Amino acid sequence: MSNLLVLGGARSGKSRYAQLRAEALTGELVYLATAQAFDGEMAERIALHRADRGPRWSTVEAPLELAEAITAHSRPGTVVLVDCLTLWASNLILAERDSTAATADLLRAVLDAPGPAILVANEVGLGIVPDNALARRFRDVAGRINQEVAAAVDEVVMMVAGLPLVLKPKA
Q: How many CB atoms lie within 10 A of CB 138?
A: 20
Q: Point out which span in 18-26, 73-81, 97-105, 118-126 binds its own copies (CB under 8 A).
A: 118-126
- Assess 127 for contact with its own copies (CB under 8 A): yes
Strand arrangement, sheet containing 117-122: 57-61, 28-33, 78-83, 117-122, 3-8, 155-160, 163-168
Instruction: Pick one of 50, 75, 108, 168: the residue that binds its own copies (CB under 8 A).
Output: 168
Strand ranges inside 96-168, DSSP E? 117-122, 155-160, 163-168
The CA-to-CA distance between both ends of the chain, in Å, stands at 13
- Assess 48 for contact with its own copies (CB under 8 A): no
Nearer to its own copies, 12 or 78 (CB): 12
Q: Point out which span in 26-34, 68-76, 110-118, 141-149 binds its own copies (CB under 8 A).
A: 141-149
Cα–Cα dist 22/118, whole Å = 7
Applying CB under 8 A, the residues found at the interface with its own copies are 5, 7-13, 41, 121, 123-130, 133, 135-136, 138-140, 142-144, 146-147, 149-151, 156, 158, 160-163, 165, 167-168
Question: Would you please indicate which residues are annotated as catalytic (active-site) residues?
Answer: 49
